Amino acid sequence: MKTTALLLKYVVRDVMRSRWLALYLIFFAAVTEGLLYFTGGEAKTVVGLMNVVLLLIPLAAAVFGTLHVHHNRDFVELMLTQPVSRSAIYFALYLGVSLPFLIAFVVGIGVPAAIHGVVFNPPILTLLAAGSALTMVFFAIAYLIGVVVQDKAAAMGVAFISWLSFAVLYDGLILALTVIFADYPLEKATIAMVVLNPIDLARIIVMLTFDYAALMGYTGAVFQEFFGAATGIIISSSSLIVWTLLPVFIGRRAFGRKDW
Amino acid sequence: MIRIDHLHKSFRALHVLQGVSVVLPTGSVTAIIGPNGSGKTTLMKSIVGLVQPDRGTIAVDGVSTINNPESRATIGYMSQVAHYPENLTPRDLVNMVRGVRMSRVPDISDELIEDVQLHGHMDKPMRALSGGTRQKVGSVLALMFQPTTLLLDEPTAGLDPVVTERLKERIIKVRDAGSTVLITSHVLSEIQELADRIIYLHEGRVIFDGMVNELLERTGHDVLSRAVATIMMQSNGGVQ
């Protein structure tokens, strides 16, 4: 634990000095400020931000996380040649790259929201929580891809396809299935399919907090109808935790066996 | 002392190490040589735990290094020109290694930094450093805890002549202090200068393992490069 914390300090230090992180923070701050300023309403801001959060965070995490493994190969080798367990190194690397992005996201949205006096409103807080969860989930997936796929270009391809599948293709698949099997009761199947997509889960959490049925889409409406808002949020949140822990666990195993 | 017994390593269908068995005595410099892809780096990485062998054993001073991170407390490893995180400084890296090692052995990083003329670069980000300067950082990180086992993969690549000489002197000093040194280099004159022993690898097998003089005698040459060329031609032709 102590060793992980020490290694984490240096991984975080490197990532915190990255210009990409600064751009990430500035982007969220500018979009939030722009939306709060021009839409004049918290609801419209959250809806606008939600679309940005659901698309951009998974993409940024998938790309940066995968690249981080490949760009820091020599640094990983340096750590592996020290008397330190591979678990300690893996957790330091994963947390070291994901936490600065999580903080940049929270600060980027939180500061303008605080200036406008809406930071503690439930939809904003829920959006921050959902975005933070997506950060941890997609960095975990990206790190797993980075460790398992040896070639950098191939790893980037897999990361991009993963993002595209979760962010775009998956919803299309659900929609197609609901149309094809319209004559059958699909509620349970839909819920199961939603749980298999972290982006859908994050969207449903924000929408259930909002209680704005028109924005929920088919899957959100099914979730609310089946579980009610509170249970729906608990199930979605638990599923996101599983979505974080599972790739971290698999990635840790792969890292433990990997030849460098 | 490093003892390696029947070491095998494959990367998919490629058998990189095929039953390597060698003993590297304490207080000696052993050079591993061989053509590209002969398994030199894989052997070195197996010793330090970067590569996990399929079969066989490795013991450093009697302690197995396979899946045993603690065994690395006495091992210093210097890779080929390393690209460390571009936003960290050499001082960050030295402090990180100092922190994780928590060694009982005195840290001689200041002396090494002076030795390899790195003092003016300690607070610059790695992205601002040349390949040679990064190599100097690698040498400080490998040597700062006076390891009893030192593994050097092309240590002088990219270094200027003055620092190369100082690094060589340091390697001799480490050997004379009783450490086991293993080195790979494509510069055979450097190996002749530094090494007491030679291991010649070909397609993952040990073709020659002995003193430098034995290799010269066996091949009938007095220059290592010619001796190596001879043994290389013999091994390519299947003659040992």
Q: What is the mean pLDDT of chain B?
A: 90
Give B139→chain A minimum CA distance, Å. Answer: 12
Helix locations, A149-228, DSSP H = 152-164, 170-180, 187-195, 198-210, 217-227
Which of 35-94 (A) contact B at CB < 8 A? 71-75, 77-86
Phi and psi angles of residue A258, each rounded to the nearest 5 degrees, phi first = -70, 145
SS3 B133: helix
> Any CB–CB contact under 8 A between A120 and chain B?
no
Give φ, ψ of A18 to 5 degrees: -75, 140
Determine what percent of chain B falls in helix, strand and coil, rounding each to the nearest 5: 40, 25, 35
Query: Residues A85, A166: contact at Cβ < 8 Å?
Result: no
Count how many pairs of residues, chain A against chain B, have C-beta atoms within 8 Å: 78
Sign of the CA dihedral running B136, B141, B143, B148: negative
Distance from CA of A248 to the nearest CA of B (A): 21
| Selection from A68, A76, A145 nearest residue B49 by Cα | A76
Q: Tell me what the mean pLDDT of segment A130-145 comes to.
A: 96
The whole-angstrom separation of Cα B44 and Cα B181 is 11
In this structure, the number of other CB atoms found within 10 A of the CB of residue A116 comes to 18
User: CB B52 to CB A259 under 8 A?
Assistant: yes
- pLDDT value, residue B240: 42
Give me the mean pLDDT over the B151-180 stretch. 89
CATH architecture assigned to B2-236: 3-Layer(aba) Sandwich (3.40)
Q: Would you call B204 helix, strand, or coil by DSSP?
A: coil
Q: Is the pLDDT of residue A213 over 70?
A: no
Of A72, A74, A83, the CB nearest to B73: A83
A3 in contact with chain B, both atoms CB, cutoff 8 A: yes
What is the per-residue pLDDT across A77-110, written as a single tens digit (0 to 9) for each?
999 999 999 999 999 999 999 999 999 999 999 9
Q: What proportion of chain B, given as a percentage, has pLDDT over 70? A: 98
Q: Which residues contact B194 (CB under 8 A, 6 or more apart)?
A: B29, B31, B168, B171, B172, B183
Which region, left, alpha or beta, applies to residue A258 given φ > 0 means left and ψ of -120 to 50 means alpha? beta
Residue B217 CA, distance from chain mean position = 25
Percentage of residues of chain A with pLDDT beyond 70: 93
pLDDT at B233: 84
Residue range B70-85: mean pLDDT, rounded:
89
Q: What ipTM does this complex have?
A: 0.89
Asked if the Cβ–Cβ distance from B99 to A75 is below 8 Å, we say no
Give percent of chain A with pLDDT exceeding 90: 62
- Give the predicted TM-score (pTM) of the model: 0.89
Neighbours of A150 (CB within 10 A): 12
Chain B residues lying within 8 Å of A70, measured CB to CB: none
Confidence bin at B54 (pLDDT 50/70/90): very high
**CB contact (8 A) between residue B87 and residue A17:** yes
**Least Cα separation, residue B238 to chain A (angstroms):** 30
pLDDT of residue A64: 94
Interval A104-119 mean pLDDT: 94
- DSSP-derived secondary structure letter, B68: -
Closest chain A residue to B150 measured between Cα atoms?
A: A81
Contact assignment for B141 to A7 by CB distance below 8 Å = no
CA distance A207 to chain B (A): 39
Q: Which of A14, A15, A81 sits opposite B77 (nearest CB)?
A: A81
* Domain spans, chain A: 2-257
Domain spans of chain B? 2-236
Interchain CB distance below 8 Å, A80 and B97: no
Torsion of CA B214, B220, B224, B226, to 10 degrees: -150
CB contact under 8 A, A259 and B100: no
pLDDT digits (tens, 9 = 90+) for A164-188: 999 989 888 888 888 888 888 877 7
